[in-house]
A and B are shown apart, each in its own frame.
Chain A
């Protein structure tokens, strides 16, 4: 597999505090890499190092198979980025903000109108950015990252401050860029729900350590899924299932089936029906990212 970003033992210390520790991040070409972790996990620090804004304490970064330390400029020509909170020049209009960047990137002027159109800011193009809403600033930042049609996009919390419809727009845009134009995208977030519809690969950062890195399908598998069963006599049903050696819980009048594969769920329902229980509801209880984190960190501690 070809990796667009590959870090090895990437570490950043601030005095005694270790913000990022021994990161071996691998971002495959053409994937949307969801970089997840709670606030303060070290996502932004990592992204800053990936963009050369900050020097690692130790470890190496290769982007496009080139050493970032040695070939920063030629790498950055092919990277579009958005780092933490939107960056902009408040005294300029949206169009002028992009013009200031365009002059450095040396791309044709018509790209400005094109990217403004892409993020839906054409109407506000000639208004001063200090009057923009947070969502508009965020979209301007995304437009700026797309000006030079980069092969790799590194976006730090790009949906921050957007309303649900704006979030959906950004997600669709990113999906299109990845699927139709083959761009590789790294997108960080503290919410799984924000990226689980676009990300194909996931890296989970916790306290500066990458505790998980695999496809999103593998992550879903790891997240223990529970099935909630509402039946006629909850407590009795729970005992019945328990006596069959199944991992079940009884809470708030419902039976919870842990680690439930399709087969296990079918078996449980069959047992209940055979024993004369009426099954009202069979629901999947999706673990939230926080629960997944807890599970992952719990696993980490138990090892």
Chain B
């Protein structure tokens, strides 16, 4: 498995991914920096900041950028017979699929950490004096990462399926945009996979290990992860190359 990961990372890091990694955190930073809300007495300004930044970052940029990354990690395989060459090497398709998925999840975690940096950066630039609510922020950062597991799996599947770079992105947008409405609904929000990054990063949520109840995490995030990951995995096994 390790050689596959090394080879995959080697190919991907030469594919101009830096700007993609920074887009989401940068958008969050700019929004956080420009917005000026009144902070009510007794409320930690870090909380308000995080609430604002999450709206644009967790609801839009995080899900959309995972789609772009998944598209990039498959693009060079589609362009000029890459799949063919890769799969005639002594590798199994299962390992290739899992390898690409692991690389993507590692990058999403990296984006989340950049976002953490962006949040801290805004507060620092604005001169917040209150202590940084480390525990809450970590919960939000890791929650968002875990919520993106199924989304990345689906995007990887779609990116392998479509030779065209834009098609999987369109699929992603079609599911991501309604999340803006879905998360406002108490009935549908908890069940909508594309709304989960926002809900799991939303610091106003419950106070368990994450901001959403375990049932929701296992059922919605875990369930959709299984469906999307296995769907993509099985599709790739059978794909004619």
User: Taking beta carbons and an 8 Å cutoff, which residues of A are in contact with B?
Assistant: 48, 51-54, 72-74, 76-77, 79, 81, 83-92, 96, 99-101, 103-106, 141, 144
Q: Name 15 A/B residue pairs within 8 A (Cβ), A-sorted.
A: A48-B241, A51-B88, A53-B87, A53-B241, A54-B241, A81-B88, A83-B81, A85-B80, A88-B82, A89-B11, A90-B79, A91-B15, A100-B10, A103-B10, A104-B86
- Determine whether the beta carbon of B85 is less than 8 Å from that of A87: yes
- Determine whether the beta carbon of B88 is less than 8 Å from that of A91: no
Q: Are A101 and B85 also in contact (CB < 8 A) when A89-B11, A90-B79 are?
A: yes
Q: How far is the CB of B107 from chain A (nearest CB, A)?
A: 17
> Which residues of B85-100 have CB atoms within 8 Å of chain A's CB atoms?
85-92
With beta carbons under 8 angstroms apart, the residue of B4, B81, B92 that contacts A87 is B81
Q: How far is the CB of A74 from chain B (nearest CB, A)?
A: 8
Q: CA separation between A48 and B88, bound complex, in Å?
A: 9
Q: How far is the CB of B153 from chain A (nearest CB, A)?
A: 23
Residue of B nearest to A87 (CB): B81
Q: State whether the Cβ of B3 lies closer than 8 Å to any Cβ in chain A.
A: yes
- Determine whether the beta carbon of A104 is less than 8 Å from that of B3: yes
Q: CA separation between A91 and B78, bound complex, in Å?
A: 12
Q: CA separation between A100 and B73, bound complex, in Å?
A: 14
Q: Are A105 and B90 also in contact (CB < 8 A) when A89-B11, A91-B14, A92-B11 are?
A: yes
- Determine whether the beta carbon of A86 is less than 8 Å from that of B81: yes
Give every chain A residue within 8 A of B79 (Cβ-Cβ).
Answer: 89-90
Q: State whether the Cβ of B216 lies closer than 8 Å to any Cβ in chain A.
A: no
Give every chain A residue within 8 A of B15 (Cβ-Cβ).
Answer: 91
Q: CA separation between A86 and B241, bound complex, in Å?
A: 14
- Determine whether the beta carbon of B90 is less than 8 Å from that of A73: yes
- Determine whether the beta carbon of B7 is less than 8 Å from that of A76: no
- Determine whether the beta carbon of B76 is less than 8 Å from that of A90: yes
Q: B6-30 CB contact bits vs A (8 Å, 1 = yes)?
A: 1100110011100000000000000
With beta carbons under 8 angstroms apart, the residue of A76, A87, A105, A106 that contacts B84 is A87
Q: CA separation between A90 and B11, bound complex, in Å?
A: 10
With beta carbons under 8 angstroms apart, the residue of B3, B14, B81, B82 that contacts A106 is B3
Give every chain B residue within 8 A of A52 (Cβ-Cβ).
Answer: 87-88
With beta carbons under 8 angstroms apart, the residue of B3, B76, B89 that contacts A89 is B76
Q: How far is the CB of B161 from chain A (nearest CB, A)?
A: 17
With beta carbons under 8 angstroms apart, the residue of A91, A96, A101 that contacts B89 is A101
Q: How far is the CB of B95 from chain A (nearest CB, A)?
A: 10
Give every chain B residue within 8 A of A83 (Cβ-Cβ).
Answer: 81, 84-85, 88
Q: Are A87 and B82 also in contact (CB < 8 A) when A53-B88, A76-B89 are?
A: yes
Q: Are A99 and B10 also in contact (CB < 8 A) when A73-B90, A91-B76 are?
A: yes
Give every chain A residue within 8 A of B91 (Cβ-Cβ).
Answer: 73, 104
Q: In this complex, which of A53, A72, A86, A100 has the most chain B Cβ atoms within 10 angstroms of its Cβ? A: A100
Q: CA separation between A83 and B241, bound complex, in Å?
A: 11
Q: State whether the Cβ of B240 lies closer than 8 Å to any Cβ in chain A.
A: yes
Residue of B nearest to A137 (CB): B80
Q: Are A53 and B84 also in contact (CB < 8 A) when A89-B11, A89-B79, A103-B7 are?
A: yes
- Determine whether the beta carbon of B3 is less than 8 Å from that of A86: no
- Determine whether the beta carbon of A103 is less than 8 Å from that of B81: no
Q: How far is the CB of A66 from chain B (nearest CB, A)?
A: 13
- Determine whether the beta carbon of B11 is less than 8 Å from that of A87: no
Give every chain B residue within 8 A of A86 (Cβ-Cβ).
Answer: 80-81
Q: CA separation between A274 and B88, bound complex, in Å?
A: 65
With beta carbons under 8 angstroms apart, the residue of B4, B14, B85, B89 that contacts A88 is B85
- Determine whether the beta carbon of A92 is less than 8 Å from that of B14: yes
Q: CA separation between A141 and B84, bound complex, in Å?
A: 12
Q: In this complex, which of B76, B79, B81, B240 has the most chain A Cβ atoms within 10 angstroms of its Cβ? A: B81
- Determine whether the beta carbon of A88 is less than 8 Å from that of B80: yes
Q: CA separation between A52 and B92, bound complex, in Å?
A: 10
Give every chain A residue within 8 A of B80 (Cβ-Cβ).
Answer: 85-90
Residue of B nearest to A77 (CB): B90
Give every chain B residue within 8 A of A73 (Cβ-Cβ).
Answer: 90-92
